[in-house]
Amino acid sequence: VSAPLAEAVAALAGVDVGVAALGPGDAADPLHPDEAAAVARAVPARVRDFSLGRTAARRALAALGVAPTSIPVGPGRGPVWPDGVVGSITHAGGWAVAVVGSAVHVGIGVDLELDGAVGDEELAVLTTAAERRRLDALADPAARATVATVLHGAKECVHKVVHPAWGVALEPTDADVDVIGHRPAITGRWTATLLRTAGALPVGTVLGGGWAVVQPAPAPTGALVVCVLVAGRWTGAPDSVNISVRR
Ligand SMILES: CC(C)(COP(=O)(O)OP(=O)(O)OC[C@H]1O[C@@H](n2cnc3c(N)ncnc32)[C@H](O)[C@@H]1OP(=O)(O)O)[C@@H](O)C(=O)NCCC(=O)NCCS
């Protein structure tokens, strides 16, 4: 499934990015020493996820023409990308995806989840009343489960863009995510409207991303939901962030 997963992510990004996806059947390349130090005390499953993510990241960078390099863990726990690059890493169910692009973009967020993994208890903490109302309007349990997963994934994408760019840690209820499309469709878009100011982004800023359901084969873990956000483009002036919204 790694080729379909990478293709789905590239299609959702909609701009020129490097993408790599690896799965349970793939070997991870050795870590660079500073990367290995970051997971020296971690359990084997975490080392595997981290290593697969770093391997995917270096392959995604190679697709952009960037030579293999260490991708250290930054002070905010996010990856430290080479100069001129922004990107994001995610892992779930033994899969890892990395997306990288030019730093003309404010940032990139990618998030992978098992479809239906977001239960009602988690939703109660993650969602605003408006998000829950829209979710509860979906009668089909499969559609609801996927949309709930996208709600979670979209918020993770927003965090993965906003936190590295401005050092602001948003709460899940600081953004209102509207999921556009639902099953039987297996791909759609989403918007996240900021309910508070975050760095250079004023309250009311709308970030636009995409989502897709990808079925791994064989499928020990069920379907995967991937969310992607490629946010904006610096236009030059210090506080001029033009966030592109695609619906
Ligand atoms: C850190 C966080 C994003 C991880 O998400 P997750 O779904 O548990 O796990 P994922 O596998 O998708 O992502 C993990 C990867 O995110 C990346 N990451 C971690 N912190 C990050 C940060 N501050 N900025 C950008 N990327 C980050 C790392 O690459 C990490 O993998 P690695 O440690 O192997 O390098 C999540 O725990 C979190 O804090 N979320 C923020 C809460 C939220 O939703 N805020 C609302 C915004 S509206």
> pLDDT digit string (tens) for 183-199?
999 999 999 999 999 98
- Average pLDDT value for residue range 9-36: 94
Is residue 53 within 6 Å of ligand 1 at its C-beta?
yes
Which of 100-114, 208-222, 225-239 has maximum average pLDDT? 100-114
**Residue 44 vs residue 1, higher pLDDT:** 44
Residue nearest to atom 32 of ligand 1 (CA): 50
Is residue 35 within 6 Å of ligand 1 at its C-beta?
no
Is residue 54 within 6 Å of ligand 1 at its C-beta?
no
Is residue 111 within 6 Å of ligand 1 at its C-beta?
yes
What's the 156 CA to ligand 1 centre distance in angstroms? Answer: 6
What was the pLDDT predicted at 246?
39
Encoded amino acid at 102, one letter: S
Residue nearest to atom 37 of ligand 1 (CA): 156
Contacts 24+ apart (CB under 8 A), 30-38: 32/69, 32/70, 32/71, 33/70, 34/70, 34/72, 35/70, 35/71, 35/72, 35/73, 38/72, 38/73
The pTM of the full predicted model, rounded to 2 decimals, is: 0.95
| Distance in angstroms (rounded) separating the CA atoms of residues 121 and 126 | 9
Is residue 50 within 6 Å of ligand 1 at its C-beta?
yes
Per-residue confidence at 87, pLDDT binned at 50, 70, 90?
Answer: very high
